[in-house]
């Protein structure tokens, strides 16, 4: 008899694995670093975006221009494309899951997609579906599409 892996409510709802401690630390540090250095940007964690496929995609961080917030109106699946998205590999997640979302994000109009590989302290910055630059923990990350530069030593310290 084959063992069946049960998914948590979190994994079923978001369509991705449960994050870990390192995942949470990286997500917080990236969100704070972008917020502090770029006050004109709004990095939003765990926001579900309506993809061209009709499904919702929930990147770890969606980067929007600073926006006015109406606290009386909320959206469960946001239709407006973010400027960029950041996906952080979870320990139980394969690269295929994230790579399958990449064409969906770019079809939506995202300008950049970052893929964070925690054990290797590496971030891949995709400028389109196929072209990317690789930055490691000692590098200054440069995303020319979003106009963002970040010292990765601050993220991976």
> Mind listing the pLDDT tens digit of every residue in the chain (157 residues)?
454 455 555 555 555 556 689 999 999 999 999 999 999 999 999 999 999 888 889 999 999 999 999 999 999 999 999 999 999 987 766 677 888 889 999 999 999 999 999 999 999 999 999 999 999 999 999 999 999 999 999 999 9
DSSP-derived secondary structure letter, 68? -
Sheet holding 112-117, edge to edge: 41-45, 61-65, 84-88, 112-117, 122-126, 132-136
| Tokens coding 16 | 């991705």
User: Phi and psi (nearest 5°) for 36?
Assistant: -75, -45
- What is the sign of the dihedral through the CA atoms of 103, 130, 36 and 45? positive
Q: Taking the model in full, what pTM does it have? A: 0.87
Asked whether 85 and 103 are in contact (CB, 8 A), the reply is no
CA 33/CA 81 separation, integer angstroms: 21
Phi and psi at residue 112, in whole multiples of 5°?
Answer: -150, 150
CATH H-level superfamily of 9-155: tt1808, chain A (3.90.1570.10)
CA dist., res. 90 & res. 87, Å (int): 9
**Sequence ranges of the domains in the chain:** 9-155
């Amino acid at each position: 008899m084959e063992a069946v892996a049960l998914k948590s409510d979190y994994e079923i709802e978001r369509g991705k694995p449960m994050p870990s401690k390192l995942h949470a630390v990286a997500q917080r540090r990236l969100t704070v670093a972008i917020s502090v250095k770029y006050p004109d940007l709004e990095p939003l964690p765990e926001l579900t975006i309506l993809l061209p496929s009709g499904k919702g995609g929930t990147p770890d961080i969606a980067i929007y221009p600073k926006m006015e917030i109406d606290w009386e109106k909320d959206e469960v699946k946001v239709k407006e494309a973010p400027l960029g998205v950041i996906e952080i590999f979870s320990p139980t997640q394969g690269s295929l899951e994230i790579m399958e979302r990449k064409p969906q994000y770019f079809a939506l109009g995202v300008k950049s997609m970052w893929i964070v590989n925690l054990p290797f302290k590496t971030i891949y910055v995709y400028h389109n579906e196929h072209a990317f630059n690789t930055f490691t923990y000692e590098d200054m990350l440069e995303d020319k599409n979003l106009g963002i530069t970040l010292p990765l030593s601050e993220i991976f310290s």
